[in-house]
Each structure stands twice: as structure tokens, then as C-alpha cells.
Amino acid sequence: MITRRKRKQDSVYRHALNDSPERFKKMKEEIKDLRFTEEPEEMIKVLDLAFVMDCTGSMSSYIEEARTNIRDIVEEIVTVENTDVRLALVEYRDHPPQESSFVTRTHDFTDSVATMKGWLDLSRANGGGDSPEAVADALDDLLNLSWQNDSIKIAVMISDAPPHGLSVPDGFPDGCPCGIDPIQTAIRLAKRDVTLYVVGCEPSITPFVDFFMALAFITGGQYVRLGRADLLMPVIVGGAQEEISLNTLSNEVERELRARREAGEDVHVEAYTRELHGRWTSRGKRVRQLQCNNVELASVSERAKQFSKLATLSDIKKVFKPQQSSGSTSGCLFGRAVGFSAPVDSSTSSYGSATIGVSFGQTSRLVQKSLSKWKT
């Protein structure tokens, strides 16, 4: 993030050149002053990065990948983005009687990579009863971490199973037995400026992609399809770089929508998003973007947009139908393909980050995140 100090009235170039000693002395003093006020200052950003990890039996390769690469992940973010990073971890499994070990285990923010690695060293993939897991409880613990007010806040949820309340068979068909609603929690995360990325470990999560995509979209985040664990590191780094680069634009959207709301204006979301995207394009605004196979991630689906407008999980359950794979791996999995995609072709997928002009999809996510703050 580059910022400039407020410049003094620049009068140097209005002086007419002459050989007056007094004039040259004054110009010399003003130029010296400008030398210290015009130089851009590189401000160190603060990133709160939290991991929310399904720790049931099927997730061992993803836990190992995070454990092995956490130091490299942090070092790359710190080096490239000039960022101080704090780390947190929320582990989750399920409620008894399906799971007897723990529902969630929470490790609040630390600035020590060694401490975070120690938490991951003790994390084990085990257990899990029915297919759904304690997703709602994990999101609630995520919400209640000690997020800093002035930080850029990113959460990465790594999951391969739905919350209780959407799947059959389900030991808790009415949802979380503690009464926690994941949709309401996602809205509260948006209100706290936490951007949620959901890494869906396919194929088991495939029927619930639209639900998890809606969770991420509510907060201005993204759903990322993953077919193998070794893709995890570039996804986390690329996602963090994108959200850091979007932070200034996010603040701009927040200020403008608040002003329009206070003025009583009824904002048409699609029209405003187009207006905003056109404005940033004309300004030549460039940001980082997480990409798969050198293409922008898939736009949020229409079903996910529909779910994101609903207030509770029970509202979603009324219209939810598990989505089935087409069984084909042809076509664009990550670009602008319409409809449902098959599981990731892990033999050809690669993730990275590129500098681009602000995309319409990024603009839409920033608008959605700001609007979510006024939902009840």
C-alpha cells in the first residue's frame, strides 16, 4: 500500500528564475522540504490470516501440506507484500455421538510461525461420524478470534463435507445442535471485514459447492476447487495477495455505499457494480488476482447468489438440492463456464497470482461484502 503525505502548497515552480540571492535561498529551502514530502512511503500492512481446518479422517494430506509449508506461505506473503502476519487455527470435527474427541479446537492469533507450526504438528486427521461435520461451530469460533480492528482479515476454510442440516443421512437434520447458523455467522464475518475463502476438497464436497460458494460470497471471498493437496500453498498465497491488493478498493466501496445509504438512495446492485467497474477500469486500476491455469476463478453461480440473499440455513434448506457432477472433465473449470463443473482435473491444474486490471467479478465481490454488512 503506497501512501503520500499531504503535500504543501507547491510554489517552487511559480517562481521566476532570477539571480536574486534571497530568491535562490528560498527556493533551495522549499526544494529541500519537497524532497521529504513528495517521496512515497511504503506502509507496512497488517494481515490476520486464520485457517479453519476439517480434521476428520479424510483430510490428512491437506493438514500435512499446511504443516509442511506454513513457513514458506508466511515468508512469501511477508516478502512480496511488505506485510506483518498473525496466524490463527480453528480445527473442527463433529458433535457426539458421531465424534467423541472434540467438536472444535481454537488457537487464537499469534505472530510466531513456530507456534502455528506447533499447532499443526499436533493436529491429526481422525474420526468423523456421519457425512456432515461441525462447520457451523468452526465458523462461530472463527468469528470470535481476536481480530485486530486495523488489519486485513482473511480466513481460509479447508473442507470436504457440508454442515449439519443439508445432507442425508444426518445425525442432526435440523442443523447444528448448538443452534449456530452458518449463514448468520457468515454475515457477521462480513460485518467484521473478514473475507472467507473456502477451499473445497473434491470430489466429496461436490454436491455442496453452491452452499460453500454462497458462504464465501457473503463475505466477499471465493470458493476454490481443489483436487489434490499440493495445490494448497499457491492457493493460500495467491488468495492473500489478491485480498491485500483489493483492500483500498474495498474501503472505497464501503465509504461510497454508506454515503448513498445515508442519503436515502436505493442502490441497484448490478447497475452500481457496472458503474464502479467502469470507473476503476478508466482509472487503469490494477490489482493481484488468484488464477487457475492462468484464468480467473469461476464466477459465483446463480444458485450461490440466490443462497447468499437468504437469511438462514433453514431458508436455504427449503430450496436446496445437492448438485451432481456431470461426470465430464472437459470444458472450462475455472473460467467463465456456465453451470456446474466436474471435479478438478488435478493432472493439469496449477494456481498462481497475476497482476491485472480490476475484473468485474472482483468488483461484484467487493460490493457484496459491503452490502452484507447491512443485512440482519
pLDDT digits (tens, 9 = 90+) for 274-326: 999 999 999 999 999 999 999 999 899 999 999 999 999 999 999 998 876 54
Number of domains in the chain: 1
304 in a structural domain: yes
Per-residue pLDDT tens over the stretch 221-270: 999 999 889 999 999 999 999 999 999 999 999 999 999 989 999 989 99
128 — pLDDT class (breaks 50, 70, 90): low
pLDDT at 130: 53
What pLDDT, on a 0 to 100 scale, did the predictor assign at position 14?
36
Q: What is the DSSP string of 323-364?
A: ----S---S-SSSS--S--PSP-TTT--EEEEEEEPPHHHHH
Nearest to 133 by CA among 95, 90, 180: 95
- Residue 24 in domain: no
Mean pLDDT of 357-376: 93
Q: What is the pTM of this model?
A: 0.84
CA separation (Å) from 219 to 138, 147, 186, 251, 282? 16, 15, 6, 14, 26
Q: Provide the pLDDT confidence category of residue 342 given band limits of 50, 70 and 90.
A: very low
The values of phi and psi at residue 162, to 5°, are -80, 170
Asked if residue 158 lies in contact with residue 119, where contact means CB atoms within 8 angstroms, the answer is no
Q: Which residue has the cell 476447487?
A: 225
Confidence band, pLDDT 50/70/90 cuts, at residue 330: very low
Instruction: Give the Cα-Cα-Cα angle 313, 319, 323 (nearest 5 degrees).
Output: 95
Residue 141, amino acid: D
What share of the chain in percent tops pLDDT 90?
Answer: 69
Per-residue confidence (pLDDT) for residue 42, from 0 to 100 = 54
pLDDT of residue 28: 41
Helix intervals (H) in the chain: 21-37, 60-81, 113-122, 135-143, 182-191, 209-218, 232-262, 269-282, 302-308, 313-319, 360-372
Task: Look up residue 247 and give its DSSP letter.
Answer: H
Domain span at residue 51 reads: 45-247+287-372
Q: How many C-beta neighbours within 10 Å does residue 257 have?
A: 21
C-alpha distance from residue 225 to each of 49, 68, 155, 205, 242 (Å): 20, 21, 16, 9, 17
Q: How confident is the model at residue 203 (pLDDT cuts 50, 70, 90)?
A: confident
Q: Which residue has the cell 490428512?
A: 60
* Sheet (strand 104-110) strand order: 104-110, 83-92, 45-54, 152-159, 194-201, 223-226
Please compute the mean of the pLDDT values over residues 167-191 and round it to a whole number. 95
Q: What percent of the chain has pLDDT over 70?
A: 81
Task: Output the pLDDT for position 204.
Answer: 87
- pLDDT band, residue 41 (cuts 50/70/90): very low
The verdict on residue 27 lying in a domain is no
Q: Share the mean pLDDT of the chain.
A: 84
Would 214 be classed as within a structural domain?
yes
> Does residue 35 lie within any of the structural domains?
no
Beta strand pairing call for 104-110 and 83-92: antiparallel
pLDDT of 44 reads 73
Say which residue, 163 or 346, is predicted with more confidence.
Answer: 163
Q: Is residue 12 part of a domain?
A: no
Residue 25 or residue 154, greater confidence: 154
What is the arithmetic mean of pLDDT over 50-72? 92
Question: Is 1 a member of any domain?
Answer: no
Of the candidate ranges 21-30, 65-74, 221-230, the one whose mean pLDDT is the lowest: 21-30
CATH of the domain at 144: 3.40.50.410
**How far is residue 304's CA from residue 213's CA, in Å, rounded to a whole number?**
6
Q: What integer pLDDT is reported at residue 129 of this predicted model?
A: 54
